[in-house]
């Protein structure tokens, strides 16, 4: 089996269309950039203030004025543009980002998302996440299906919300789940798992699409 | 023309215990480090700091936090500076978390005389607590209020002697917004140039906002 | 990469009778004249035009007004174009006057996903009629709502093939705001350059906002 | 007697301090720029999008991309800066303009201002005037005292308001009137006129300052 995170990133990458403006969260979502077809012109946004985010620089070639939202040194592509934080979040809130890919602590049947705080344990702050999920045209959650066996896809989130009814799609190592007005629908499944195994790893009610496909790995 | 270029010591002289200070930068990038160092040296306390984040140890506002000079931190993210959580747990530091886009917009509102803005961000979350919810065409928005400060500490890449500032790459972030929202604006800059050397089209913070210019800000040493 | 450069005819093809169109410019300066001329030639009617002003005869949106193509004009000033008053008197043209700063802020709100902004401008005047007044800390503000459009017609001074735009001097005005607030953005530009020729720091409208680029815009001939 | 408009402009100019940011309205107010001491560094704002407005260019030297808010070709001074209209009015509304000088149709005892519309007669639009008078730290009205004998300084404006309680000072060819919480106070008088003449030309109640001075011409 391919590395789980790489597999998830690879599947998410298929959701990106030529010409899209995309914002990738820190961690697993960042890997999505590695699976874009060469002939695609995808513009990556970095919410700290630019469009045209490129790959990490060679060691020793870092530009100290140029970091991404995860505080890593990065590069820009030709045609990039810089702006201030109000414009950056204007781009996000104003629905000019086609897709955002983020991790999650919990997602629920209504597409509600919790990914920024575990009261009493972890209080990092929401950063740009609340704006991103409210503003992006499509919100994809890329994460491992469970937290070491503990359910993350729930009937109802128990952690404080990041936002309500914002998630469009969940991609995990087990499959692809779409959030629809009638609930969660499993549309693709990793052939290493049975539908029962997916159900077991999910607290939320999941419908299985009549067109269920095999997930590419 | 009024002389705006001052020494570090002169520049921070008016900053006192309890001052409300906006600090530009995103995880330290775009933060005026020489002003942070000067404030640490000065040792004033009970500061209210408005900054995108808590930076990371030994960088930007983290220096002030580590030195126990901050009473309240208004920020969108504090996860990469463990000292913040520790001081919060000990009740030494109050942290007010604001979504990043809302923080930017609140500072912009403060600087541009708006009474507030309506944003969909935070509706239905902890962020909405205590805030007015206004429904427009069936969609809910939070009324978010302006933020202002006594001082804005800004980092310029190139600054002319009138105070016109140009920011390089991702150092821009909150700097131009904060420069409009504070009573006194102090720019620490890498390069000081003659008036006219920055193309008027490309000025990012007009000189009328800048009260004090301090030279000697260096590129960050990794 | 998608090809954005099109002919004038291709560019305006999707604009129809009744379209809501934002037009950049201040008294014509910064207005894409070749797009105005093309719309006059095309002769579509009942347009809703959002523009700072009514320009003056034979300039900018005044060409569309003189040709009776405009049903509604949303602007801050129409005093230098006598045709506007005449058409209003004859009931041929509806004019909705908006304070200039409020117009800018409403377009910005439309482009940046804000549900509205609170401004002190217009409180106690005709402008306040029918609007929600919100009192904050004893001060009254008007709730002003976002403006959006089907099309934004923008004038660039230099545009690269990805659509990054740089505006010269006072041609900037409403152009970058409108470029964020419309479904389809058409830039008529003086100069078209290769991608990378505009310093990424100095890009004023990022290319993601621009759908169509048309070359051949000329400096205004006095 | 010196030209009336020039005299008014000259007197208004005395209100400007070194370092001020100033926005001058179209017409008479524009003339204020001609009376600034040479050693003063005043920054003039043009609300169509720049700071550092300079004098009119020589004929033939016009830059077609550079106009002021009155649609006249202008120049910029060294150290100027350009920005978009939202930033321009952010500067105005955010109290970053020290003084604005405007004409008026009517001003009243409360400092209310009417200067943008005569219903049924003149409907030019308010342009930037409503923002300017609400946002500038000090609002000076520069105008002739009456409209060919018809009162303009009234007990209460009869024309639609531009804004309420915003005027700080009125400068006319007859004198200088300050708007105070207790009403209008005549602080300077042109020696060509008597106090009675000023009163007669004014519908509003005017108090005469105990420190009444002669207006410079």
* The pLDDT value given to residue D120: 85
Residues of chain A positioned with their CB less than 8 A from the CB of C162: 79
Asked if B115 has any chain D CB less than 8 Å from its own CB, the reply is: no
| B-contacting residues in A 110-169 (Cβ below 8 Å) | 117, 122-131, 134-135, 160-164
* The pLDDT value given to residue D123: 84
Which residue on chain B is closest to D84 by alpha carbon? Answer: B201
* The pLDDT value given to residue D95: 98
Residues of chain C positioned with their CB less than 8 A from the CB of A52: 200
| D47 tagged catalytic | yes
* The pLDDT value given to residue A216: 87
Which residue on chain D is closest to B201 by alpha carbon? Answer: D82
| A-contacting residues in B 119-178 (Cβ below 8 Å) | 119-127, 157, 168-177
In this complex, do C124 and D163 lie within 8 Å of one another by their Cβ atoms? Answer: yes
* The pLDDT value given to residue B2: 67
In this complex, do B180 and D83 lie within 8 Å of one another by their Cβ atoms? Answer: no
Q: Which of A15, A47, A188, A203 is catalytic?
A: A47
Residues of chain A positioned with their CB less than 8 A from the CB of C164: 79, 81
At residue A141, does pLDDT exceed 60?
yes
What CA–CA distance (Å, rounded) separates B28 from A70?
12
What CA–CA distance (Å, rounded) separates A110 from A104?
14
More confident residue, B70 or A120: B70
Residue to substitute from B107, B113, B180, interface D, most D β-carbons within 10 A: B113
Three-class SS state of C153:
strand
Q: Which two tokens stand for residue B138?
A: 């069936």
Which residue on chain D is closest to C168 by alpha carbon? Answer: D65
DSSP for C95-140? EEE--HHHHHHHHHHHHHT-SEEEESTTTTSGGGTT--EEEETTEE
Q: Which two tokens stand for residue C200?
A: 């990424």
At residue A196, does pLDDT exceed 60?
yes
Give residues with Cβ within 8 angstroms of D139, minimum separation 6: D99, D100, D102, D113, D132, D133, D166, D167, D168, D169
At residue A148, does pLDDT exceed 80?
yes
CATH 3.40.1080.10 fits A2-214, yes or no: yes
Residues of chain C positioned with their CB less than 8 A from the CB of D63: 169
In this complex, do D94 and B111 lie within 8 Å of one another by their Cβ atoms? Answer: yes
* The pLDDT value given to residue A2: 58
Average pLDDT over residues D116-128: 91
| D-contacting residues in C 14-33 (Cβ below 8 Å) | 26-29
In this complex, do A92 and B102 lie within 8 Å of one another by their Cβ atoms? Answer: no
Q: Which of D43, D89, D135 sits opposite B208 (nearest CB)?
A: D43
Output the CA–CA distances (angstroms, integers) from residue A62 to A59, A69, A76, B14, B166, in the order listed: 7, 15, 12, 37, 21
Q: What is the ipTM of this complex?
A: 0.98
In this complex, do D126 and C173 lie within 8 Å of one another by their Cβ atoms? Answer: no
In this complex, do C169 and B200 lie within 8 Å of one another by their Cβ atoms? Answer: yes
Asked if C100 has any chain D CB less than 8 Å from its own CB, the reply is: yes
Residues of chain C positioned with their CB less than 8 A from the CB of B134: 115-116, 143
Binned at pLDDT 50, 70 and 90, residue A123 comes out as confident
Output the CA–CA distances (angstroms, integers) from residue B33 to B214, C92, D36, in the order listed: 12, 61, 40
Which position has the token pair 């269920």?
Answer: A212
Q: Locate all alpha helices (DSSP H) within chain D, ordered by sequence.
A: 4-13, 85-93, 129-135, 195-200
Binned at pLDDT 50, 70 and 90, residue D106 comes out as very high
**Contact between D62 and C222 (Cβ < 8 Å):** yes
Burial of A86 (0-12, 13-18, 19+ CB in 10 A): buried
Asked if B124 has any chain C CB less than 8 Å from its own CB, the reply is: no
Percent of chain D with pLDDT over 90: 95
In this complex, do C141 and B115 lie within 8 Å of one another by their Cβ atoms? Answer: yes
In this complex, do A48 and B26 lie within 8 Å of one another by their Cβ atoms? Answer: yes
* The pLDDT value given to residue C2: 66
Task: Quote the minimal CA–CA distance from C222 to chain A in Å.
Answer: 34
Number of other CB atoms surrounding residue B68 within 10 Å: 14
DSSP for C24-44? --BTTBT--HHHHHHHHHHT-
* The pLDDT value given to residue D1: 46
Which residue on chain D is closest to B165 by alpha carbon? Answer: D81
Can you point out the beta strands (E) in chain A? Answer: 21-24, 43-46, 50-54, 75-82, 99-102, 106-108, 113-114, 138-142, 146-147, 150-151, 153-154, 169-171, 175-180, 183-189, 206-214
* The pLDDT value given to residue B74: 98
A70-84, A114-128, C47-61, C166-180: lowest mean pLDDT where?
A: A114-128
At residue A81, does pLDDT exceed 60?
yes
Residue to substitute from C161, C164, C206, interface A, most A β-carbons within 10 A: C206
**Contact between A182 and A139 (Cβ < 8 Å):** no
Residues of chain D positioned with their CB less than 8 A from the CB of C170: 46, 48-50, 65-68, 82
Residues of chain B falling short of pLDDT 50: none
**Under the phi-then-psi rule, with left for phi > 0, alpha for psi from -120 to 50, and beta for the rest, what region is C180?**
alpha
Percent of chain B with pLDDT over 90: 98
Candidates C120, C222, C168; CA nearest to C24 is C168
- Count contacts between C and D (CB, < 8 Å): 151
Task: Quote the minimal CA–CA distance from A2 to chain C in Å.
Answer: 31
Residues of chain A positioned with their CB less than 8 A from the CB of B100: 47, 85, 89, 126-128, 131
Average pLDDT over residues D94-104: 98
Asked if B201 has any chain C CB less than 8 Å from its own CB, the reply is: yes
Task: Quote the minimal CA–CA distance from C145 to chain A in Å.
Answer: 14
Candidates C117, C22, C24, C30; CA nearest to C74 is C22
Binned at pLDDT 50, 70 and 90, residue A1 comes out as very low
What's the gap between Cα B25 and its chain centre?
7
Q: Which two tokens stand for residue D65?
A: 């991309």
At residue A159, does pLDDT exceed 60?
yes
Average pLDDT over residues D5-28: 96
User: Mean pLDDT, 10 residues at a time, over chain C (222 residues)?
Assistant: 88 98 98 98 98 98 98 97 96 97 98 98 97 95 98 98 98 98 98 98 98 98 90
């Amino acid at each position: 089996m391919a590395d789980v995170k790489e597999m998830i990133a690879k599947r998410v990458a298929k959701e990106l269309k030529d010409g899209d403006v995309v914002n990738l969260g820190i961690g697993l979502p960042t890997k999505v950039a590695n699976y874009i077809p060469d002939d695609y012109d995808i513009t990556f946004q970095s919410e700290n203030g630019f469009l045209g985010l490129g790959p990490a620089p060679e060691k020793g070639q870092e530009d100290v004025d140029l970091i991404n939202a995860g505080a890593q040194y990065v590069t820009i592509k030709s045609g990039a543009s810089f702006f201030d934080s109000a414009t950056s979040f204007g781009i996000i809130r104003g629905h000019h980002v086609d897709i955002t890919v983020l991790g999650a602590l919990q997602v629920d049947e209504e597409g509600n998302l919790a990914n920024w705080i575990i009261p009493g344990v972890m209080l990092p702050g929401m950063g740009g996440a609340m704006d991103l999920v409210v503003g992006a045209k499509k919100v994809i959650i890329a994460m491992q299906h469970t937290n070491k066996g503990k359910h993350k896809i729930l009937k109802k989130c128990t952690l404080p919300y990041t936002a309500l009814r914002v998630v469009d799609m969940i991609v995990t190592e087990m499959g692809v789940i779409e959030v629809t007005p009638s609930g969660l629908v499993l549309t693709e499944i990793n052939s290493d798992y049975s539908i029962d195994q997916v159900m077991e790893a999910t607290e939320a009610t999941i419908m299985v699409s009549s067109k269920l496909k095999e997930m590419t790995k | 023309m009024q002389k705006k270029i001052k020494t570090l010591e002169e520049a921070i002289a008016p900053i006192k215990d309890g001052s409300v200070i906006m600090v530009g930068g995103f995880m330290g990038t775009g933060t005026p480090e020489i002003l942070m160092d000067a404030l640490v040296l000065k040792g004033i306390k009970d500061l209210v700091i408005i900054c995108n984040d808590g930076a990371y140890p030994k960088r930007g506002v983290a220096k002030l936090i580590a030195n126990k000079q901050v009473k309240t931190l208004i920020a969108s993210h504090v996860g990469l500076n463990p000292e913040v959580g520790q001081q919060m747990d000990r009740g030494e530091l109050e942290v007010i978390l604001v979504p990043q886009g809302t923080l930017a917009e609140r500072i912009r509102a403060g600087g541009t005389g708006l009474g507030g803005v309506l944003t969909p961000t935070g509706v239905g979350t902890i962020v909405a607590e205590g805030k007015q919810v206004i429904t427009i065409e069936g969609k809910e928005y939070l009324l978010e209020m302006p933020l202002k400060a006594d001082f804005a500490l800004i980092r310029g890449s190139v600054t002319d002697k009138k105070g016109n500032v140009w920011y390089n790459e991702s150092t821009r972030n909150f700097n131009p917004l904060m420069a409009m929202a504070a009573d006194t604006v102090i720019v620490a800059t890498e390069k000081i140039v003659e008036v006219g050397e920055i193309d008027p089209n490309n000025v990012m913070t007009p000189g009328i906002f800048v009260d004090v210019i301090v030279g000697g800000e260096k590129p960050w040493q990794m």
